[in-house]
Structure 1
Amino acid sequence: MNLTTRTALLLVGIVFTAYHAARTLFWTGPVMHPILVIITVCFGALATLIALFAEPRTPAVAIDAPLTAGGNGPKVLPMWAAVLALVAAALTPTAIAIGVGRDHVDAPYATGYIGGIGLLMTVVMIRRRVMCALLGVALLVIGSVIWLGPLGAFSFGLVGAIMWVSVAQIIMHSLDRASRDTVRLIELQRAAAAWQAAQSVRRRERRVRVQFALQVAGPLLTRMIGQGGALTSEERAEARVAEGTLRDELRAPNLLDTRVRVAIEQARRQGSTVTLLDEGGLDGLTEEELGRIRGEIADAIASAPSARIIVRSSRHPEIAVTVVGRSAAGDGLTPEDTVELWQEIARATTN
């Protein structure tokens, strides 16, 4: 048989409840009102069993509840069961004292209720009714001190009852703190795993970029080294195109596809300076939307007669990319370059 921790604790609670009930009912002296004693003991035992097995009406646990509550630990005791336990704690000392008689209130069988109520309040504390458990202990202390006196009450098990409830509270608090620490540790582990995954993706992307750079600039660099830097005009133009291509791949990979790369290369070979700047804002777009935007970028670059072309992504809620074409400065007409093209590419198409 698979004996779970909860089942074991319930069995321990039942055994101790039966022990304290039997201790009170095993009379070794005269009892003035045995029926009252039997009813009181049965009522206390019933309250303990209810505290052990009572289930809340709403099984769902609040989000901010400790992890040791609900399905992973003791559920919160229903309020009606907690009130029943308080009634037992308030009535039992007086009922037992009246039942056994004033002259026998300090007999061993007449003081067994102290351990029984202490057990009941321990169960209430474990079931997360802290204030009810503390109030029940206070009622037990008051009742036993009234009938037994301070010295008698504390010598007949009141100290042990208080200790049980206190230890139960310490244990539950420690379990809750350990659960919260476990949750934090899991969150940190997940964050570390996500960070490692992100770093792995970045390293993979860097390797791809490096491989692309070697494919684009490797042959040219080899020739440059072999010729000692003495390049022809055609080779210098080719080097400028390769350098610009590498810069585009590093700065704005989200803006590039085959059409954009071809349009940029043609514009550079015709003497234009093309600059791509990716300032974010394109991450949430679908592949279809990115394809449309890149197609418009390619068309804008191919049709721009400007000497300088700047393509810049945007975080604007409506504008995804802006393409600006500027004339060359110092052409004899104006001291500064002028804007010849200003095209804003929408983030989403309008129907």
Structure 2
Amino acid sequence: MISVRRIIVGIALAFTGYLALRGLWWTEPPVQPLVIVAALSLYLVTIWLCIFWEPRRAQIPSPVDGPPTGLIGGSRTRLPRWAGVMALASAFIVPTAIAVAVRPEDRTDPFATWYLGGIGVLMVIVMVRRRPWVAWIGIAALAVGSIYWMGLVNAMSLGLVGSIVWVAATQLMLLSIDRAARDTAQLAQLQRAASAWQASQSGRQRERRIQVQRALAVAGPVLTRTVATGGALTDEERTQAHLAEGRLRDEMRGPRLLDDAVHAELERARRRGASVTVLDEGGLDGLDEAALGVIRAELAETLRSARSDRLYIRTSPDERVAVTVVGRSASGETLSDEDAVDLWREIDHPPTR
């Protein structure tokens, strides 16, 4: 299967091969051909290592984790330091070696100027492998060496400008890729947040439907009887309406605290005339049914022995306390805010296994 990485690697190999052949295509016999061959060998080994070398334990980050590292597309890791040192060595050695190996009048011939493009390609690969400082130092070394041996005008006209432009364009392209990767990561996070919000809204909608069904089950018969009699209810029916109202409030304000035993004790407290308030203010999230069962059983036991005129049952966000039950009784003939607290019970979270 042909991938973008393979295409880019193939182009890089073809270009380096062309430059190597150009360096061996002598129009005039060089003074030291072995030096030229050695310089070409150093160049080819270095650039092939920069293209293919990858540490075995390197892990490739996904676009969500951050910008890609390595070859365009993020499929390679950062260039090792020792390979960067070899690339710098080539940038410093090759121009001088070629210039020394040929006659001074041949230093502007194609077989003696191939390194202007060759080192430029090498530094482009180093830039792609995420070593920008190495790439720019290598370009600076290439500029100094070529200008020293062939002059500023010849160096600029024979390929130095192109190499500088290649490296600069590559860095700009990588910056664009990194920005696109960051944008992709942000969009992925926003998508996950939107999915989570949609899931929570769906859960709340299901919970509201369940609460409406419970309300209809609890209050429906009483409302039907009230409408049928025109509001003329007996004392027992009024009591049932009061109990239905209280049960409906309990179902809407604290459904996680309720089971049959708790329902029965709440109804018993209301039948004897107590005012009961049930509020779920958080703190029970993440508890399984077994833990909730323990809390409900202890709550039912607490309500069973309660004799207070007003009962307040609240969940607690405290790490230790799950539910707080407070009972107050009238100090006089009527209930007021000055009533004495005659019941205080904190129900702890069950120990985790």
TM-score norm. by structure 2 comes to 0.92
- Whether the 8 Å CA contact 2:60–2:75 is kept in 1: the answer is no
Change (3 A) 1:345 1:198: same
The SS at the match of 1:73 is coil
Change (3 A) 1:285 1:335: closer
Q: Distance in 1 between matches of 2:48 and 2:195?
A: 47
Could you tell me which of 144, 148, 151 is aligned with 2:150? 148
The alpha-carbon deviation at position 72 of structure 1 amounts to 3.7
Could you tell me which of 169, 172, 178 is aligned with 2:171? 169
Equivalent residue, structure 2, for 1:263 = 265
- Whether the 8 Å CA contact 2:67–2:179 is kept in 1: the answer is no
Equivalent residue, structure 1, for 2:28 = 29
- Of stretches 119-128 and 164-173 in structure 1, the one that deviates more from structure 2 is 164-173
- Of stretches 260-269 and 340-349 in structure 1, the one that deviates more from structure 2 is 340-349
- Whether the 8 Å CA contact 2:329–2:335 is kept in 1: the answer is no
Equivalent residue, structure 2, for 1:96 = 98
- Which residue identity does 1:60 align to in structure 2? Q
Q: Distance in 2 between matches of 1:37 and 1:160?
A: 23
- Of stretches 304-313 and 331-340 in structure 1, the one that deviates more from structure 2 is 331-340
- Whether the 8 Å CA contact 2:283–2:316 is kept in 1: the answer is yes
The SS at the match of 1:222 is helix
- Whether the 8 Å CA contact 1:251–1:276 is kept in 2: the answer is yes
Q: Which residues of 2 match residues 1-351 of structure 1 at below 5 A?
A: 2-56=1-55, 58-60=57-59, 66-69=66-69, 72-331=74-333, 336-348=338-350
5+ long unaligned stretches in structure 2: none
- Of stretches 145-154 and 299-308 in structure 1, the one that deviates more from structure 2 is 299-308
Q: Distance in 1 between matches of 2:244 and 2:277?
A: 13
Q: CA offsets per residue over residues 152-176 of structure 1, 9 Å max, x none?
A: 1010011111111112212222222
Change (3 A) 1:65 1:117: farther
- Whether the 8 Å CA contact 2:84–2:134 is kept in 1: the answer is yes
- Which residue identity does 2:328 align to in structure 1? R
Change (3 A) 1:277 1:184: same
Q: Distance in 2 between matches of 1:320 and 1:265?
A: 22
The SS at the match of 1:111 is helix
Q: Distance in 1 between matches of 2:26 and 2:232?
A: 116
- Of stretches 323-332 and 132-141 in structure 1, the one that deviates more from structure 2 is 323-332
Q: Distance in 2 between matches of 1:11 and 1:284?
A: 55
- Which residue identity does 2:68 align to in structure 1? T
Q: Distance in 2 between matches of 1:350 and 1:141?
A: 69
TM-score norm. by structure 1 comes to 0.93
Change (3 A) 1:335 1:105: closer
Change (3 A) 1:228 1:65: closer
- Whether the 8 Å CA contact 2:60–2:74 is kept in 1: the answer is no
The SS at the match of 2:232 is coil
Q: Distance in 1 between matches of 2:351 and 2:113?
A: 85
- Of stretches 165-174 and 328-337 in structure 1, the one that deviates more from structure 2 is 328-337
5+ long unaligned stretches in structure 1: none
Q: Distance in 1 between matches of 2:65 and 2:117?
A: 31
Q: Distance in 1 between matches of 2:278 and 2:306?
A: 15
User: CA RMSD of the aligned region, Å?
Assistant: 2.3
- Whether the 8 Å CA contact 2:315–2:322 is kept in 1: the answer is yes
Q: Distance in 2 between matches of 1:74 and 1:350?
A: 46
Change (3 A) 1:335 1:188: closer
The alpha-carbon deviation at position 58 of structure 1 amounts to 3.9
Q: Distance in 2 between matches of 1:210 and 1:350?
A: 34
